[in-house]
Amino acid sequence: MTVITRKIQIATRGNDHIVDITGTVRRFVAESGLKDGIATIFVPGATGGVSTIEYEPGLLKDFPRALERIAPPGVTYEHGKRWGDDNGKSHVKATLIGPSLVVPFSKAAPILGTWQQIVVMDFDTKARKRDVVIQVMGE
């Protein structure tokens, strides 16, 4: 079994910004020389997440709105009281979504549904450069 790791950096706007990285993952898997295995996508940090979504304008509005109902702005979060910052809601959202995703690949291509894209989500309250780790394992 072979393991190959790559770290990329993406610019995000914060505040529930969703970035499609499907093309990057596809290229890395194809260039890895591996035919079959799994790709793990991981975002270090406590205010980012990784998932899949149909990356289209409606869902890019609907998904953040759904998360706002779960972790709304303008309420007091214990995290903010303890640390004096305003991103308690960001931590809650990131915890719900999770920092990683595993996608199988076959014939050197990720196995995804027709309308399924891999996305990194930045829930923090400011723009930043986010590291993303992509690791492929296989044969």
- The average confidence (pLDDT) of the chain is 97
| Segments making up each domain of the chain, as ranges | 2-138
Give pLDDT tens digits for 30-45.
Answer: 999 999 999 999 999 9
Do residues 16 and 121 touch, judged by C-beta distance below 8 A?
yes
Stated pTM of the model: 0.96
Do residues 3 and 136 touch, judged by C-beta distance below 8 A?
yes
By three-state DSSP, how is residue 48 classified?
A: strand
Out of 3.80.30.20, 2.40.160.20, 2.60.40.3620, 2.60.120.460, select the CATH number for domain 2-138.
Answer: 2.60.120.460
Beta strand residue intervals within 79-127, DSSP E: 100-106, 109-110, 117-122
Give pLDDT tens digits for 114-130.
Answer: 999 999 999 999 999 99
**65 pLDDT more than 90:** yes
